[in-house]
Structure 1
Amino acid sequence: MRRKHRLRTIDQDFEIQQDRLKAEGCVIVRAEKVSGASREGRTELATIIEFLREGDELIVTRLDRLGRDTRDVLNIVHECEQRGAFLTILDPHVSTRGEMGQVILTVLGMVAQMERRFIKERQREGIEKAKASGVYKGGKTRLDHILIRKLHGEGVGASAIAKAANCSRMQVYRILGTSPCVEARKF
């Protein structure tokens, strides 16, 4: 049986995780520098799942290395099952080989999702506190909305505005609250 694994990020105690996986008998160890919060951009995970075959086992050190959203974790479990493969989480030790493993995995996924919500809430509270004390300045404005509206008011077309504001035409349309079709009729 071949064993495969995917880690969420290289700089998060990668060596410790790698040693643990090799001790478990993993032959292929994959890593990526993308948040487990969503599947977007997680090419290593997609590659591993694509290459899973009947009897393979996808092993992750912790559930949060696989995903933080219950639906996403369950989708990954389903994809593994469709390929005849199993998913094993080392901490806490849970496998999809048995009926109870899936139930426990579902509950753990829900707990991980709640934890992510708690983290976001604490972050929001921290930002509010920093704003109240005048420490938080916020992110930099990426697009000059005033320039875009000014040029639009002067009758400049979307392509020229996009070039002047160093952005895409779609960003111009979004800021102006218009669609490309409506905009085309105006000019």
Structure 2
Amino acid sequence: MLVGYARTSTLEQKAGFDSQREALEAVGCNRVWEEQRSSVGPREALSEAISFCREGDIFVVTKLDRLARSVRHLGEIVEELEHKGVDLKVLDLGLDTTRATGKLMLNVLGSVAQFEREMMLERQKEGIAKAKREGKYKGRMPTAMAKSSQAEELLRRGLTKRQVAKELSISERSVHRIVERTKQTRPS
């Protein structure tokens, strides 16, 4: 049986999601699990799809980066699949672990992908450092602190910190920081 898995990181990637689904269905996946999650968070659909697989099945993804976030993570997934007697197929690479060359290519490509990601992060750090030196880097906009007056008003009205967080679409921890900052700036 061909078992498919599709993932996007955000809701804005709907077109990518649709193309993954179409590609998985086109190769004949009998079941397809889908989720919109970051690769670093828990992925229930991935766990369910792997759990569903039985010996002799082939687990299919459109791209390697839709499956794993690092070489180590890829290795863990492949090890789990191998333990179950399940092979892996990555469509855009033509990679198929039912053959020895496919297994070799999987390891090589996984290493290259991790190297590429680490290089990108290194360039990003260098760019941020340069922008800071030139006084151009301002960092992330403090979205929660920009809503502090609204949060204080809602708290005065009697809403709980949890309710304020939900109302303003900020974290509960941000509401706690706003309260602490207000206590510190309030004259004694």
Structure 1: distance between partners of 2:32 and 2:81: 17
Structure 2: distance between partners of 1:3 and 1:49: 9
Q: Flag structure 1 segments of 5+ consecutive residues without an equivalent.
A: 144-162, 168-187
Taking structure 1 as reference, are residues 16 and 141 closer, same or farther at Cα in structure 2, changes over 3 Å only? closer
Q: Which residue of 2 aligns with 1:84?
A: 85
Taking structure 1 as reference, are residues 30 and 19 closer, same or farther at Cα in structure 2, changes over 3 Å only? same
Contact in 1 for aligned 2:71/2:114 (Cα 8 Å):
yes
Structure 2: distance between partners of 1:52 and 1:130: 48
Contact in 1 for aligned 2:6/2:62 (Cα 8 Å):
no
**Which amino acid is the alignment partner of residue 46 of structure 1?**
S
TM-score, normalised via structure 1 length: 0.68
Cα deviation 1:91-148 (Å, max 9, x = unaligned): 11111112221111011110110011011112112212322232322244989xxxxx
Q: Which residue of 1 aligns with 2:126?
A: 125
SS of 2:139's partner is coil
Contact in 1 for aligned 2:4/2:24 (Cα 8 Å):
no
SS of 1:112's partner is helix
Q: Identify, as 1 or 2, the structure richer in helix.
A: 2
Structure 2: distance between partners of 1:44 and 1:58: 13
Structure 1: distance between partners of 2:58 and 2:8: 17
SS of 1:68's partner is coil
Structure 2: distance between partners of 1:66 and 1:123: 24
TM-score, normalised via structure 2 length: 0.67
1:28-177 alignment, distance < 5 Å: 28-36=31-39, 38=40, 40-139=41-140, 140=142, 166=176
Q: Which residue of 1 aligns with 2:30?
A: 27
Taking structure 1 as reference, are residues 84 and 8 closer, same or farther at Cα in structure 2, changes over 3 Å only? farther
Contact in 1 for aligned 2:60/2:89 (Cα 8 Å):
yes
Contact in 2 for aligned 1:68/1:109 (Cα 8 Å):
no
Q: Flag structure 2 segments of 5+ consecutive residues without an equivalent.
A: 146-172, 178-188
Structure 1: distance between partners of 2:90 and 2:62: 6
Contact in 2 for aligned 1:5/1:26 (Cα 8 Å):
no
Deviation of 1:2 (Å): 4.0
Taking structure 1 as reference, are residues 85 and 19 closer, same or farther at Cα in structure 2, changes over 3 Å only? same
